Structure 1
């Protein structure tokens, strides 16, 4: 059985424009690549990985009874939607990005940039018409994430960040972070959170441990499983499936790799610019990748599947 030496992986990652790569197994750090020696300890924008943190907070709110069943129409929180085409959009549709709204994140309508330039982000999203029946297909939509952040703040009776500090960040010892807000003071649901890579790893470990941290069950195992399992096929050209603000996929694809390669499923958070958290439950491994924000034109694509997943699938790993 092949064994991977840490130096081999470090050498390969050093050729890429990565800021850091952290890997843990059963909650223990087993590999660290830090290009400058201090990136892992500095907070940086995690971009759309924020969506997966929001998913965790929504699951906690569900566990605590703050949120109704996900089949509840979002109009329960936004009465203006009751008399529009949006009345049939449920909380689950927002979580799985199947709201059916006529939305093009970037390019085309540039819905996301237009939302962030508007004076009222929630109202901007609620003004969008439908282009598909809710639930029919996935269309990436950070506007739906902002609606969910507003719903969480309303249901919990506190800001999104305060809820996170009390029920997620605090228990996990995550103290250093920043979180942007919209013009109404609602924390951004689809982006805008900054964390240290080491704390991104903690967040992935929470999910690898099925919602348990230390001696406390922060999220029930049921909701950890439900939120990360495939719910709908991903919108092209993205690969895999989408869950509750988590991506889900498998390695290898049919015909990829060789007969000796073991296969595994994984779920991950992904943010623009190459920020990512991968959780491989069957291997009890979490991988965090971060990239320099100033090198967006040199983002190394598919780092996990090209450089890390093949080595994980080869067998036992040695980092001595």
Structure 2
């Protein structure tokens, strides 16, 4: 799956509910994402039930699922013993948040994506840096095109910035996609260098607090730098709120939190990746943005190891948040394309109390498979 710099144990798993009432959803913040019935937002309870059944039966271990349509939560759930108020590790979905930190630092004039990486770390640079290393820019870090092959490998006792810069850059930066968690760490290190704050602290007043994300935990490396490429823990609804914020072009409650231009660039095609990771899976060969994957069906996503997904479907005004512990990430997306994508309608549907009741009944019985 994805390269990780250290191992962080996953949390246990969860209880699933779905309800049209704004008061349901554990620690969900109904003010930030109001609740409504699926039919009122143009999607049938029956289609959601088909998706839940398929995911429960076919995916190794689902932990949570939340569907937002037209800014309203129409389905939400947690496989027991998971819960709405339990933060979940995001693994590489953390990268998409790091992208927002870079965009904010650019807006504040603290850096440019065309700045050379070496310019931020004169004391950590090798004595005789190669021409390729000298050419590497922030943009190359954002697009996973640093020119490394293989990518740097960090050990806990390493000085991570020095190790990254000492690793041979064998290709022209910007020429080839190669997925690099260490590259995202360097973005985090650059933001910390130019702002004097870790990415976690920098984002709290600018993004996390406005989105209602309470007490986000984000692990640091041995030198005290937010890891950036993984290590962030937040709740399922926090993921969904982040997706809705992206869908709204970086705006939340009428305020532009991150420049719309940055969100548009970050979530759109910046580099092709026909030979990228998971090359046998269609949704990993659609191209890459600034720490976001492109998908089929004109969608985009942030994702992470073991099935953490923030999927945004602009054409359908929808966001899907999933946490899990599975290697079947393409299957997760395939089930969305099969069951949910065709069910999005342009107008509200007649309320279907029978199907809604069946859906609720099914969701109450869901449990993580390993916990049975």
Tell me if both proteins adopt one fold, taking TM over 0.5 as the criterion. yes
1:150 aligns with 2:197: no
1:97 aligns with 2:141: no
Partner of 1:87: 134
How do residues 224-239 of structure 1 correspond to structure 2 at under 5 angstroms?
Answer: 224-234=263-273, 235-236=276-277, 237=279, 238-239=284-285
- Residue 289 of structure 1 and its aligned partner are, at CA, apart by 1.2
1:123-147 CA-partner distances (Å, limit 9, x unpaired)? 1111100121111100111111111
Q: Contact conserved, 1:40 with 1:196, CA < 8 A, in 2?
A: yes
- Residue 8 of structure 1 and its aligned partner are, at CA, apart by 2.3
How do residues 46-195 of structure 1 correspond to structure 2 at under 5 angstroms?
Answer: 46-68=90-112, 70-79=113-122, 80=125, 83-85=128-130, 86-104=133-151, 111=152, 114-195=153-234
Please tell me the root mean square deviation across aligned C-alpha atoms, in Å. Answer: 2.1
Task: Supply the distance in 1 between the matched residues of 2:236 and 2:168 (Cα, whole angstroms).
Answer: 38
Partner of 2:288: 242
> What SS class does the counterpart of residue 224 from structure 2 fall into?
coil
Task: Supply the distance in 2 between the matched residues of 1:75 and 1:274 (Cα, whole angstroms).
Answer: 34
Partner of 2:62: 18
Q: Which residue, out of 43, 58, 61, partners 2:87?
A: 43
TM (normalized to structure 1)?
0.86
- Residue 59 of structure 1 and its aligned partner are, at CA, apart by 0.8
Task: Supply the distance in 2 between the matched residues of 1:2 and 1:35 (Cα, whole angstroms).
Answer: 22
Partner of 2:260: 221
Task: Supply the distance in 1 between the matched residues of 2:271 and 2:84 (Cα, whole angstroms).
Answer: 33
- Residue 212 of structure 1 and its aligned partner are, at CA, apart by 0.4
More displaced, 276-285 or 3-12? 3-12
> What SS class does the counterpart of residue 51 from structure 1 fall into?
helix
Structure 1 residues 140, 118: closer, same or farther in 2, change over 3 A? farther
**Runs of 5+ unmatched residues, structure 2:** 1-41, 357-372
Higher strand share: 1
1:133-191 CA-partner distances (Å, limit 9, x unpaired)? 11110011111111110100111122211101111101111113211111110010111
Q: Which residue, out of 284, 291, 301, partners 2:317?
A: 284
Q: Contact conserved, 1:180 with 1:188, CA < 8 A, in 2?
A: yes
When Rg is computed on C-alpha atoms for both structures, the one with the higher figure is: 2
**Runs of 5+ unmatched residues, structure 1:** 105-110, 251-263, 293-297
TM (normalized to structure 2)?
0.74
- Residue 39 of structure 1 and its aligned partner are, at CA, apart by 2.9
Q: Contact conserved, 1:4 with 1:311, CA < 8 A, in 2?
A: no
Partner of 2:335: 307
- Residue 100 of structure 1 and its aligned partner are, at CA, apart by 0.1
Q: How many residues align?
A: 293
> What SS class does the counterpart of residue 321 from structure 2 fall into?
strand
Q: Contact conserved, 1:2 with 1:314, CA < 8 A, in 2?
A: no
